[in-house]
């Protein structure tokens, strides 16, 4: 309960997470049928980069601030930056959307958002930030219970983001458990799990557990700003995405090399591969 995302808002990990989230919502929106967006550890939804928390760490300067100043942007970046620009109409980078606000602004009238935040103060601020949008419901419960409590949804299509604070040693394992719970309730669900890249031994176990999970197919995408050889620092971050919509892999193949170049600090790098490949037709 000590983690406050405001200290890290807009950093390189946020940029990767929110770019992928933007592309997922964009691809889902190509079909008219509604979808539900679920967020297990939602945070505030909106961040002031000039506020005390973000300015104290300055992490956004090595993240969104680099994209804000970049030229010759890939097409896949535009929708994400359009949201950030709209929040900063005077051209000065100050306000930054968390995943709930990004999803709210990019989703459509027929779509529905279910947001959960356990931290009592952050949950109250999230409710304030989402007030007035009838498509949005905010819950103040345990994030790990979201798949059990909110799935299956009445919508046949659902995107679940699992983005815990990783304050406890068992949270990678709990991510896998939540993934299994989600697919036990809605096999067709798209589940995106964000994770930090620090301890390679812990991650190796996480990957093995994911490969044994109930996900029908599972895409791994990672972005490094340092070589991943020091467990004391955040060398990068990743997302595993179950049931990724068609077209996402090809977009990420174009996007990740550009991101690694723009966001790399001591050393930029990336990885994109399948932890679980889709079973051949007629097999399970």
Stated pTM of the model: 0.95
| Structural domain includes residue 186 | yes
- The three-state secondary structure class of 162 is strand
Query: Could you tell me if 9 and 95 are in contact, meaning their C-beta atoms sit under 8 angstroms apart?
Result: no
What's residue 284's pLDDT?
A: 38
Residue 265 has pLDDT above 90, yes or no: yes
Q: Is 143 annotated as a binding-site member?
A: yes
| Structural domain includes residue 280 | no
- Tell me if residue 230 is catalytic: no
| Structural domain includes residue 229 | yes
What tens digit of pLDDT does each residue of 31-46 get? 999 999 999 999 999 9
Residue 192 has pLDDT above 90, yes or no: yes
Which pLDDT band, with edges at 50, 70 and 90, does 2 fall under? Answer: very low
Query: Could you tell me if 95 and 87 are in contact, meaning their C-beta atoms sit under 8 angstroms apart?
Result: yes
Mean pLDDT of 162-185: 96
Q: Is 163 annotated as a binding-site member?
A: yes
Q: Is 41 annotated as a binding-site member?
A: yes
Q: Is 117 annotated as a binding-site member?
A: yes
What tens digit of pLDDT does each residue of 57-113 get? 899 999 999 999 998 899 999 999 999 999 999 999 999 999 999 999 999 999 999
Look up the domain containing 261 and give its range. Answer: 3-274
Which of the residues 75, 122, 163, 170 is marked catalytic? 163
What's residue 1's pLDDT?
A: 43
Look at the chain and report how many structural domains it folds into. 1
- Cα angle 81, 44, 223; round to 5: 50
- Cα angle 46, 152, 171; round to 5: 55
Here the CATH number for the domain that contains residue 107 is 3.40.50.150
**Percentage with pLDDT > 70 across the chain:** 96
| Structural domain includes residue 284 | no
Which pLDDT band, with edges at 50, 70 and 90, does 127 fall under? Answer: very high
What's residue 3's pLDDT?
A: 54
| Structural domain includes residue 281 | no
What's residue 283's pLDDT?
A: 44
| Structural domain includes residue 227 | yes
| Structural domain includes residue 203 | yes
| Structural domain includes residue 42 | yes
């Amino acid at each position: 309960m000590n983690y406050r995302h405001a200290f890290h808002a807009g950093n390189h990990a946020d940029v990767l997470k929110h770019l992928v989230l933007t592309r997922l919502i964009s691809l889902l929106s190509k079909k008219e049928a509604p979808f539900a967006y679920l967020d297990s550890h939602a945070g505030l939804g909106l961040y002031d980069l000039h506020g005390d928390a973000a300015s104290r760490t300055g992490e956004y300067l090595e993240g969104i601030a680099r994209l804000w100043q970049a030229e010759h942007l890939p097409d896949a970046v535009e929708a994400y930056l359009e949201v950030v620009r709209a929040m900063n109409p005077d051209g000065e980078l100050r306000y930054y959307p968390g995943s709930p606000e990004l999803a709210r602004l990019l989703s459509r009238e027929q779509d529905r958002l279910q947001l959960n935040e356990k931290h009592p103060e952050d949950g109250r601020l999230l409710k304030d930030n989402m007030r007035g949008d009838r498509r949005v419901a905010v819950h103040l419960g345990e994030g790990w219970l979201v798949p059990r409590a909110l799935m299956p949804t009445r919508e046949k299509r659902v995107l679940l983001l699992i983005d815990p604070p990783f304050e406890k040693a068992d949270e990678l394992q709990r991510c896998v458990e939540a993934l299994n719970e989600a697919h036990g309730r809605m096999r067709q669900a798209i589940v995106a799990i964000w994770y930090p890249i620090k301890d390679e031994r812990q991650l190796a176990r996480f990957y093995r557990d994911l490969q044994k999970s109930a996900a029908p197919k599972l895409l791994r995408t990672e972005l490094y700003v340092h070589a991943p050889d020091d467990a004391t620092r955040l060398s990068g971050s990743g997302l595993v995405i179950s049931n990724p919509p068609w077209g996402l892999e090809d977009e990420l193949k174009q996007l990740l090399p550009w991101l690694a170049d723009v966001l790399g600090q001591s050393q930029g790098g990336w990885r994109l591969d399948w932890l679980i490949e889709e079973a051949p037709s007629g097999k399970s």
